[in-house]
Amino acid sequence: TIGMIAVDQGGHVAAGTSTNGLTHKVPGRVGDSPIVGAGAYADSQVGAAAATGDGDVMMRFLPSYLAVEQMRSGADPSAACKTAISRIKRHYADFFGAIICANTTGHYGAACNSVDGFSQFFYMISNSETDAPHLMSVDC
């Protein structure tokens, strides 16, 4: 799955997702990616977020919407991402998932939940400083 956020110099924000979902799913199953507020959410007054992982669990908590609302309340992107992950973790301690967050000033962050085989989450950024894709990571 890919979740992506773009912010331009005017603070215009868009977000998107694309996926083929979980392998061996029951036919008809849909994950969080196409669900607004779950797979991604964007509001040019604030910023955007995009989630990835086990969509069956994550879509129950609208983590992208929550992260954007956290940023609206003043949280920095990293803290907003962590809150969204923590909210899910309260109910599903061993869920597999991660989220990226960015605000309209160009600050960004990410968070993930540590499970077996997944202790660090990698994501990509490109901005006017890097002027090219740059690999980033966050410890879960």
Active site residue 1: yes
Tell me the closest approach of the beta carbon of residue 103 to another protein, in angstroms. 9
Taking the complex as a whole, how short is the minimal distance between the CB of residue 86 and another protein, in angstroms? 18
Give the nearest distance from C-beta 87 to another protein in angstroms. 17
What is the chain's length? 140
The reply to whether 84 sits near another protein by the rule CB under 8 A is no
Q: Per rule CB under 8 A, is residue 105 in the interface with another protein? A: yes
The continuous run of DSSP H or E covering 66 comes out as: helix 63-72
125 binds another protein per the rule CB under 8 A: yes
**Which residue, 92, 91, 109, is CA-closest to 100?**
109
Write the CB contacts of 88 (distance below 8 Å, at least 6 apart in sequence): 57, 58, 60, 61, 63, 95, 97, 113
Looking at the annotation, which residues are catalytic?
1
